[in-house]
Amino acid sequence: MLFLTILIDLKILNKFPSNIFANDNSTSFNSLSYEEQISEYQLMVERILYKSIEKSVNNVYGENKRTSWDYRIINIERGYYPEPYLYRLTIEFETFTGAHKPPVDTNVAVYDIISFDPTIVKEISYEHYLNER
């Protein structure tokens, strides 16, 4: 339901069209199942946060030393700045050092989306935990 809140807020702010795909009406967002919509919400949030996550990972491990993947949104809260449509997101993900190597650690980061025009994301916290092998 938290993803639905973001979708509704973005529609209210006119930040994306009602048909998020190319001009193919057979793939309009409203025609997707609930599970497919949740998957699309997850992808939207990942794309909004990707550059911030990459910057956080590079700050902790060094430039281009690790790659992140397997993003899981833990929490989304609304209303952290004067405008009620801005968000605090907590996301969990793993990092790895090579394509065929197992994940090295699990990371939990908290970001505030403080503007959608242009999109401005601020890191609030970043924690990493070594995975047991």
- Domain segments of the chain as ranges: 2-130
Mean pLDDT across the stretch 4-28? 50
Q: Which of 101, 17, 121, 65 is nearest to 7 (CA)?
A: 17
Give the whole-angstrom CA distance, residue 84 versus residue 78. Answer: 7
Say if residue 23's pLDDT is above 60. no
Q: Give the pLDDT score at 125.
A: 92
Report the predicted TM-score, pTM, of the whole model to 2 decimal places.
0.68
115-121: long-range contacts, CB 8 A cutoff, minimum separation 24:
115/86, 116/10, 116/13, 116/15, 116/85, 116/86, 117/15, 119/48, 121/48, 121/49, 121/51, 121/52
Say if residue 18's pLDDT is above 50. no
- Asked if residues 87 and 68 have their Cβ atoms less than 8 Å apart, the reply is no
Q: Give the pLDDT score at 81.
A: 60
pLDDT in tens, 107-121: 999 998 888 778 888
